[in-house]
Amino acid sequence: DVTSGQVVDPASQGAADKDAVDPENDFQREMSFYRQAQAAVLEALPRLRKLQVPTRRPDDYFAEMAKSDQQMQKIRQKLKSKQEAMERSERAKQLRAMRKYGKKVQTEILQRRQKEKKNMLNAVKKYQKGLSDKLDFLDEEQTSSQGNKKGSASQWIKKGPNAKRRYKNQKFGFGGKKKGSKWNTKESFNDVSSFRSKVAHNKGPGKGGKKALNKRPGKRARQKMKSRAR
Amino acid sequence: GKWRNKERVLIFSSRGINFRTRHLMQDLRTLMPHSKADTKMDRKDQLFVINEVCEMKNCNKCIFFEAKKKQDLYMWLSNTPQGPSAKFLVQNIHTLAELKMTGNCLRGSRPLLSFDPTFDKEPHYALLKELFIQIFSTPQYHPKSQPFVDHVFTFTVTDERIWFRNYQIIEEDASLVEIGPRFVLNLIKIFQGSFGGPTLYENPHYQSPNMHRRLIRLSVAAKFREKQQVKEVQKIKKKGSKVLIEEDPTEVVFETPAEEKPVEIQLVKPESKPIVKDKKKLRKFQRKKQKKFFRTE
């Protein structure tokens, strides 16, 4: 009693695939069922079409479905909620990653700024101390950072500190901590620029009528005199 | 056209079924428009009473669900007047109402049935295939049926069991979504008559659920017993085999008793040691001293 169009269909599937299906492996098993169904459908639909059995439902055909609309709504809700949860977790992850990256970039920028400031100050100090009379560092800074905006400012900086300030620096030295600074270093020891030979050997012109005649002879001389006198 | 194929399937159950089985039954009733429902059968009546019930309802096929111990579900598929019948153990039931089954189909639309090639290889499988075909396929031009073909039942033999799935056909290129329900049938026996008669085939791989549970319990008990035995063996080993050595007279020869020390009675409390708070620090100082010494050398 298998009338034409009575829907019966053995599906053929490669025997090799079947043997490899491990019943414990859920995914593989379900996939094999799926493939079997697909093969059956692909074989059956042309035959049905030939027998003029309709397979596609027209869009205006409304009839009762096996699952109620309410049920389908529930299913749709569940799917949506699952998707949303996934999206939320994705977004959270991305945010975290971005924040991390942002923080890194920020610290880098701050460090760079600090470094630049330090370099600038060092260069300025160098110039002030007279070690380098070139003001190139300013030029470099300007060209790299701001350009023409600070042109007038750079010109003003070229003159350096005030004339009064310069005189005082020369006389009293530069500001800053003096206590911990080194003295009697190699350089200062070997620096004999403040040696006045005439002063040391008492050869220079006297400061106008010195009581030189009252000079007492030294110890050695006195002893010699003493011993000679005896 | 004229409705010629007058197949009617009676779907009902015994008492003591749980909610899942009830839902499965209802799902089958909705998917098969050529089915009829009946009240629950009492356990007291014997199985061949079912044949009379079917005759009263004018059905020529029957699906009967039998629940035992509130745990195991058996399913009978039978061709009622005199045809063969088969008894299965049903497992892994998932119903239409589960939210993971996202497909839907027209109520009463005719299904496509798809069988595993294994069904053609063995005679008992061939018999089952014929039974499935006659029961599950909706007759053409049945008054409650819809003329479209939009879902497919698959029967697959894996792991000595028959797996049933129901998919909705979405596109003509065979993209499918599962509608459900789904279950696994474990064949027990095939009888010549309906709900009785001589046995045509008995499944050698079938193990009754009682036996299965019993085996699990036995294995657990066996493990426990093994542990006990091992413990006992260890105990015996400890106690036994202690060899008694005879007394050796020559052993005492070289023994010289030690001199007796004068008994000292301490009247004065001994000086207390300097309390070292930090042993590490002490050691550190010691090391520094050593280093200094080493350097000045």
B169 domain residue, yes or no: yes
**Cα distances (Å, whole numbers) of residue B274 to A120, A222, B239, B271, B285:** 59, 66, 52, 9, 16
From residue B221, how far is each of A119, B213, B229, B233 by CA, in Å? 81, 12, 12, 18
| ipTM summary value | 0.72
Amino acid at the residue A114 = Q
Contacts of B295 (CB under 8 A, 6+ apart): none
Q: Residue B207: is its pLDDT beyond 60?
A: yes
Q: Which of A8, A33, A44 sits opposite B163 (nearest CB)?
A: A33
Chain-centre distance for alpha carbon B33: 32
Q: Per-residue pLDDT for chain A (230 aa), expressed as one digit of tens each? A: 223 334 444 544 443 345 567 778 888 888 888 888 888 888 888 888 888 877 777 877 888 888 888 888 999 999 999 999 999 999 999 999 999 999 999 999 999 999 999 989 888 888 887 766 667 666 655 544 444 455 555 555 556 778 888 888 777 777 777 778 788 888 888 888 888 888 888 887 876 555 556 678 899 999 999 988 87
Q: What is the DSSP code (8-state) at residue B294?
A: H
Note whether A58 contacts B: Cβ–Cβ < 8 A. Answer: no
pLDDT at site B88: 93
How near does any CA of chain B get to the CA of A181, in Å? Answer: 29
Query: Which positions in chain A touch B176 (Cβ < 8 Å)?
Result: 34, 37-38, 41
**Tokens at B144, concatenated:** 């409650």
Give the model's pLDDT for residue A3. 32
Q: Looking at beta carbons, which residues of chain A come within 8 Å of B174?
A: 37-38, 41-42, 45
Look up the domain containing B72 and give its range: 9-212
Burial class (CB in 10 A: 0-12, 13-18, 19+), B150: buried
Residue B221 vs residue A127, higher pLDDT: B221
Please tell me the distance from the alpha carbon of residue A26 to that of residue B159, in angstroms, as a whole number. 12
Q: Is the CB of residue A60 less than 8 Å away from at least one CB of chain B? A: no
Q: CB-hemisphere CA count at 13 Å for A223? A: 3
Q: Is B161 left (phi over 0), alpha (psi -120 to 50) or beta?
A: beta
Q: What's the pLDDT tens digit per position in B91-106?
A: 999 998 888 888 888 8
**In 10 A of CB B27, how many CB atoms?**
21
**Least Cα separation, residue B56 to chain A (angstroms):** 23
Please state, rounded to an integer, the average pLDDT across all residues of chain B: 87
State whether residue A7 sits within 8 Å of chain B by CB: yes
Q: Could you give phi then psi for residue A91, rounded to 5 degrees?
A: -60, -40
CB contact under 8 A, B147 and A54: yes
Kindly state the helix (H) or strand (E) to which residue A63 belongs, with its residue range.
none
So what's the pLDDT on residue A213?
61
Looking at the partner chain, which of A6, A54, A66 has a beta carbon nearest the beta carbon of B96? A66
Q: Return the CATH number at B34.
A: 3.40.50.10480
Given an 8 Å threshold on Cβ–Cβ distance, is B106 in contact with A66?
yes
Relative to beta strand B109-115, strand B146-158 is: parallel
Average the pLDDT over each of A11-20, B12-21, B38-47, B144-153 and give the range with the smallest value.
Answer: A11-20
Cis preceding linkage at B181, omega within 30: yes
Q: Smallest CA–CA separation between A40 and chain B, in Å?
A: 6
Only one residue has tokens 């009967």, namely B64
Copy the structure tokens of residue A180.
Answer: 């911990």
Instruction: Look at A59 and B231; give whichever has higher pLDDT.
Output: B231
- Chosen for mutation from B7, B26, B114, B142 (greatest number of chain A CBs closer than 10 Å) is B114
Q: What is the pLDDT of residues B28-76, one digit of tens each?
A: 998 899 999 988 887 777 877 888 888 999 998 999 998 888 888 999 9
pLDDT at B111 over 80: yes
Sort out which chain A residues have CB atoms less than 8 A from B140's CB and list them.
3, 5-6
Residue in A3, A39, A66 closest to B31 by CB: A66
Does residue B131 lie in a domain region? Answer: yes
Question: What pLDDT does B292 receive?
Answer: 84
- Give which of B112, B130, B148 to mutate to test A binding, by max A Cβ within 10 Å: B112
Q: Rounded to whole angstroms, how far apart are CA atoms A70 and A93?
A: 35
| A66 vs B107, B156, B176: nearest CB | B107
A25 contacts chain B (CB < 8 A):
no
DSSP A85-99: HHHHHHHHHHHHHHH
Q: Which residue has the tokens 């819809």?
A: B146
Predicted TM-score of the model (pTM): 0.62
The answer to whether the beta carbons of residues B143 and A14 sit under 8 Å apart is no
- Find the helix or strand (DSSP H, E) in which B257 lies: none
Using the Cα atoms of residue A36, residue A41, residue A44 and residue A46 in order, give the sign of their dihedral: negative
How far are the Cα atoms of A68, A126, A169, A188, B122 from residue A184, in angstroms, in the given order?
100, 22, 21, 6, 110
Report the number of distinct structural domains present in chain B: 1
* Amino acid of residue A226: K
Name the residue in chain B with its Cα closest to that of A56.
B148
What single letter denotes the amino acid at residue B7?
A: E
What the block records as the tokens of A102 is: 């942002």
Distance from the A87 Cα atom to the nearest Cα atom in chain B, whole angstroms: 20
Q: What pLDDT, on the 0 to 100 scale, is given for residue A14?
A: 43
Ordered by start, the domain boundaries in chain A are 24-55
Give the gap in angstroms from C-alpha A86 to the nearest C-alpha of chain B: 17
pLDDT at A156: 54
- Do residues B105 and B179 touch, judged by C-beta distance below 8 A? yes
If you search the block for the tokens 């100090």, which residue do you land on?
A: A125
Give A51 to chain B, closest Cα distance, Å. 13
> Is residue B2 over pLDDT 70?
yes
Distance in angstroms (rounded) separating the CA atoms of residues A58 and A74: 25
Tokens of B135: 């029961």
Q: Do A41 and B174 touch (CB under 8 A)?
A: yes
* Binding-face residues of B in 175-194 toward A, CB within 8 A: 176, 179
Pairing of strands B176-178, B182-193: unpaired
- The reply to whether A68 touches chain B by the CB within 8 Å rule is no
Tell if the CB–CB gap between B117 and A9 is shorter than 8 Å: no
Say what angle helices A136-145 and A151-158 make with each other, to 10 degrees.
170
Whose tokens are 């053409």? That residue is B140
List the single range of A120-124, A175-179, B250-254, B260-264 with lowest mean pLDDT: A175-179
User: Which residues are bridge partners to B152 per DSSP?
Assistant: B112, B167
